[in-house]
């Protein structure tokens, strides 16, 4: 490799911004194994503990028996197998939309969908804390992109006024998340829906960290706030609370047909493995069931316990943190965050240090995620370890 890559890596290292892979030698769950040692895992988005659930494993195994391992082609060629369509029907029913379309990842969903919705002369207004996939999709579209400060509706409103004035007759797409991935707080959905209506804009909502966690049967924040009908493009991932991989867009039949014709990451990519679609369907079925709702309520018990026990001082605001399964422990300095994560790892806890560019420079944090699969004891011992380490109450 040319020297400049080595030099740039060294520069990253000096700023404590270098990243490394770690090998997990077990299945996902509240306990995982790294290099022969067990760790309590507070790093995953497997909020309901479904990634290694027997129902999902069984669904995947029986789909492998019937459909094999690979999909063989893209969806529009010959890769659409029964599990894909069953999953899309179930997703549409669960979310209460006319139709749904699956992508092989959330990243692919954003990258394919946004450029299909808007082009060069249109406008995208995107929340500053949106996930990289949404930012990249917005950039790829070539539309005029304006980023508004996180959740600041006044600013969004003035941008909407500007866009309507300066880009008369063009499409305006508002892009945001319902639960923000690194902060765990919510978008002000009711107000956003109001603005969407007033300015005749389109609203795309990424519910990646809300589905399975929030709303009746885990249908997300839009369902919880009863505004699903006013969200034009409902995105979610299958890779977090639903325990598998891939993502979906739910919306009108016309929207889905349009994406089938225009979303390049859908068209020009091999279909997801049928076994993954079958496992995701089992997850949707589970969420729609009484047992699934019980699991979701158990998650909320665990969230409340974490909220109660985590020393207050490091949290980004009490009310904010307790609204999802994500607890951002803001440290600020990158090296200090790495030190804290590695001290926790020595104590047997895996908690990821999140640094720039995932979050802003100087806003490094431990991102603690709690799942329904954690025991009370595991949560208590993490909080105790943090308390000892930081001398905070």
Q: Is residue 107 at the binding interface for ligand PLP, with CB under 6 A as the rule?
A: yes
Q: Are 133 and 110 in contact (CB under 8 A)?
A: yes
Query: Of residues 84, 95, 209, 374, which has the active-site annotation?
Result: 209
Q: Is residue 44 at the binding interface for ligand PLP, with CB under 6 A as the rule?
A: no
Helix (H), strand (E) at residue 266: helix 264-267
Q: Are 187 and 175 in contact (CB under 8 A)?
A: no
Provide the 10 A C-beta neighbour count for residue 208.
28
CA distance 377 to 47: 17
Q: Known catalytic residue: 197? A: no
| Contact map string, positions 354 to 373, toward ligand PLP, x by CB under 6 A | --------------------
Measuring CA to CA, how many Å separate 98 from each of 89, 355, 373?
Answer: 9, 39, 33
Q: Known catalytic residue: 240? A: yes
Q: Kind of pairing, strands 172-177 and 202-206?
A: parallel
Q: Is residue 106 at the binding interface for ligand PLP, with CB under 6 A as the rule?
A: yes
Pick from 75, 84, 95, 131 the residue near ligand PLP by CB under 6 A: 131
Which single residue is written with the structure tokens 């077990």?
A: 26
Q: Which is nearer to ligand PLP, 133 or 324 (CB)?
A: 133
The sign of the CA dihedral 35, 40, 46, 52 is positive
Q: Which is nearer to ligand PLP, 45 or 97 (CB)?
A: 45
CA distance 252 to 230: 11
How large is the C-alpha radius of gyration of the chain? 21
The 3-state DSSP class for residue 100 equals strand
Q: Are 213 and 47 in contact (CB under 8 A)?
A: yes
Pick from 80, 176, 217, 239 the residue near ligand PLP by CB under 6 A: 239
Site for ligand PLP in 315-344 (CB under 6 A): none
Q: Known catalytic residue: 95? A: no
CA distance 290 to 342: 40
Pick from 105, 151, 324, 369 the residue near ligand PLP by CB under 6 A: 105
**Rounded to the nearest whole angstrom, what is the least distance from the CB of residue 201 to ligand PLP in the complex?**
20
CA distance 91 to 250: 8
Q: Is residue 385 at the binding interface for ligand PLP, with CB under 6 A as the rule?
A: no
Q: Is residue 113 at the binding interface for ligand PLP, with CB under 6 A as the rule?
A: no
Q: Which is nearer to ligand PLP, 172 or 326 (CB)?
A: 326
Q: Is residue 302 at the binding interface for ligand PLP, with CB under 6 A as the rule?
A: no
Point out which span in 91-99, 203-211, 212-220, 385-393 binds ligand PLP (CB under 6 A): 203-211
C-alpha 14 chain-centroid distance: 30
Residue of this chain nearest to ligand PLP (CB atom): 106
Q: Which is nearer to ligand PLP, 75 or 131 (CB)?
A: 131
Q: Is residue 237 at the binding interface for ligand PLP, with CB under 6 A as the rule?
A: yes
Q: Is residue 175 at the binding interface for ligand PLP, with CB under 6 A as the rule?
A: no
**Rounded to the nearest whole angstrom, what is the least distance from the CB of residue 91 to ligand PLP in the complex?**
14
Cα–Cα nearest to 29, from 324, 382, 369: 369
Q: Which is nearer to ligand PLP, 207 or 378 (CB)?
A: 207
Angle, CA of 182, 378 and 286, to the nearest 5° = 70
Q: Is residue 208 at the binding interface for ligand PLP, with CB under 6 A as the rule?
A: yes
Query: Of residues 240, 245, 324, 374, which has the active-site annotation?
Result: 240
Q: Is residue 133 at the binding interface for ligand PLP, with CB under 6 A as the rule?
A: yes
Active site residues: 181, 209, 240
Residues lying near ligand PLP in the complex (CB under 6 A) are found at 105-107, 131, 133, 177, 181, 206, 208-209, 237, 239, 247
């Amino acid at each position: 490799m040319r020297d400049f890559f080595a030099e740039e890596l060294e520069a990253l290292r000096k700023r404590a911004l270098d990243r490394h892979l770690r090998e997990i030698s077990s299945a996902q769950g509240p306990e995982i194994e790294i290099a022969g040692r067990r760790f309590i895992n507070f790093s995953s988005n497997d909020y309901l503990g479904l990634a290694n659930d027997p129902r999902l494993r069984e669904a995947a195994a029986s789909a492998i028996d019937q459909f094999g391992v690979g999909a063989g082609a893209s969806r529009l060629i010959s890769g659409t197998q029964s599990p894909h369509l069953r999953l899309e029907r179930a997703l549409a029913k669960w979310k209460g939309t006319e139709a749904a379309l699956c992508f092989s990842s959330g990243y692919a969903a954003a990258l394919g969908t946004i450029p299909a919705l808007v082009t060069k002369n249109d406008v995208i207004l995107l929340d500053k804390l949106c996930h990289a996939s949404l930012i990249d999709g917005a950039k790829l579209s070539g539309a005029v992109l304006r980023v508004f400060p996180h959740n600041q509706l006044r600013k969004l409103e003035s941008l909407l006024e500007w866009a309507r004035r300066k880009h008369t007759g063009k499409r305006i797409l508002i892009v945001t998340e319902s639960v923000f991935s690194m902060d765990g707080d919510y978008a002000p959905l009711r107000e956003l829906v109001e603005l969407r209506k007033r300015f005749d804009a389109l609203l795309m909502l990424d519910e990646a960290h809300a589905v399975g966690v929030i709303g009746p049967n885990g249908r997300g924040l839009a369902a919880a706030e009863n505004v699903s009908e006013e969200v034009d493009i409902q995105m979610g991932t299958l890779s977090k609370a639903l325990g598998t991989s891939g993502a979906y867009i739910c919306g009108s039949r016309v929207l889905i047909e349009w994406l089938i014709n225009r979303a390049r990451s859908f068209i020009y990519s091999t279909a997801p493995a049928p076994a993954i679609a079958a496992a995701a369907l089992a997850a949707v079925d589970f969420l729609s069931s009484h047992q699934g709702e019980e699991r979701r309520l158990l998650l909320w018990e665990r969230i409340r316990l974490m909220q109660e026990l985590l020393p207050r001082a490091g949290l980004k605001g009490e009310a904010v943190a307790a609204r999802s399964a994500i607890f951002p422990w803001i440290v600020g300095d990158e090296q200090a965050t790495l030190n804290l994560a590695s001290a926790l790892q020595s104590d047997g806890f895996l908690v990821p240090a999140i640094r720039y560019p995932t979050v802003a420079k100087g806003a490094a944090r431990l991102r603690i995620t709690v799942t329904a699969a954690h025991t009370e004891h595991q949560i208590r011992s993490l909080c105790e370890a943090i308390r000892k380490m930081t001398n905070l109450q």
